[in-house]
Amino acid sequence: MTMRSRIAVVRSGMGLLLIAFLYLNSLSQSKAYIPVLCYHGFTDDNKSGRGESYERFDAFLNYLSNKGYESCFPDDIVTGTKAAKKKVIFTFDDGGKSQVRAAELLDKYGFKGIFFVIPDRIAEAHDRFLTKGEIQQLADQGHLIGVHGYQHKSLVDSVEEFERSQEYSKSVLKIVVGEKQRAMSDFAFPFGYYDDRVVEHLDDNYRYLHTVNPGYWDGTSILIPRILIDSHTEISFFIDYIEGATAFEPMASLITQDGTTSDVVQFRLHNKINPAKMALFSVSRDTSGKTNISHPLGDNLMIRDGVLRIDMKNHLRRHYSPDRRVISYALVSKEDAKIRFLTLGHLHWVTE
């Protein structure tokens, strides 16, 4: 064998090793789950129950900063710009003016967020929603601007909202933001509502579709789960949620198509689960008026031949208002008074 051929073999072997390394590295990356937070409005106090208080938000950011957490964007994880360890994604919906002060608190601790804006509400001056100048300022500070529909209507129920949310909404925000940030690739569903048709078409215009399905993001899926922050839920829950990401491993994977309509949901089990400890966690308001709440599945759950079957329609009838047809949820267990997620977050519709 000549020296040149030997070098070629060595180079070929190194190439294979590199490919193998990148493949194994991608596998390890896919197992790192990211907590994603979703905020709306902010107030000076949370006695009204509307929005998050600035004081609690400040204390929460201070806690995360002291614990060594860093904020990131979805692209940072996908491209490997930032390692997934001790990362959190901050998102803000509806484009309320109170988010300007919230952004100042983010900057105070070196965090950045994604601000989802409703294009139809953007104006030169507004007393409730972010103005053009305020949106530009957020982009200048290194925050990302995302699209939140067009008029904040359900894309599943409104043809106009569905059509305008694709290219038109994006073009409106690009005019406002200009070239001050990366390509506008993040979209948040109004009310968190979507189905397979909506996802398929938005996939052509946006890289990441943000839901309000509770749980962690796997770092690869186009659908990004988010935990809704509300003033009625103890801050300890959100801390447990964030810190639990490093130990999370899905115990079951969805068989039923995400966002589809049927009365039964099915999961494929990866590990043995004690049915008595399982519950369905949802951000939706139940009959008692609570959000971020879990309910035992009871006789609505059946496990057979490695398949977990949930009578979702009957579960909704039992714990939610009679007119509820859709639910954003994850399967959880409660251990030591803490919620532990067993699955990724999903959305499901039941028949009328």
Interval 190-240: pLDDT, tens: 999 999 999 999 988 999 999 999 999 999 999 999 999 988 899 999 999
Tokens of 34: 């990211």
Phi first, then psi, for residue 237 (nearest 5°) are -65, -45
pLDDT higher at 7 or 234 = 234
Phi first, then psi, for residue 175 (nearest 5°) are -65, -40
Please report which confidence band the pLDDT of residue 74 belongs to, taking 50, 70 and 90 as the band edges. Answer: very high
- Identify which of 241, 271, 275, 226 has the alpha carbon closest to the alpha carbon of residue 253: 271
Q: How do the residues of the chain divide into helix, strand and coil, expressed in percent and rounded to 5?
A: 35, 25, 40
> What pLDDT, on the 0 to 100 scale, is given for residue 116?
97
Q: What are residue 136's DSSP bridge partners?
A: none
Separation between Cα atoms, residue 299 and residue 321, nearest integer Å? 19
Q: Give the 3-state secondary structure of residue 185.
A: coil
- The answer to whether the beta carbons of residues 10 and 17 sit under 8 Å apart is no
For residue 299, is pLDDT > 90? yes
- The answer to whether the beta carbons of residues 181 and 144 sit under 8 Å apart is yes
Interval 96-152: pLDDT, tens: 999 999 999 999 999 999 999 999 999 888 889 999 999 999 999 999 999 999 999
Please report which confidence band the pLDDT of residue 188 belongs to, taking 50, 70 and 90 as the band edges. Answer: very high
pLDDT, mean of residues 14-24: 43
Separation between Cα atoms, residue 30 and residue 173, nearest integer Å? 31
Please report which confidence band the pLDDT of residue 181 belongs to, taking 50, 70 and 90 as the band edges. Answer: low
For residue 23, is pLDDT > 90? no
Separation between Cα atoms, residue 221 and residue 207, nearest integer Å? 10
- Residue identified by tokens 């990724």 is 344
Task: Give the whole-number percent of the chain exceeding pLDDT 90.
Answer: 74
pLDDT, mean of residues 62-82: 92
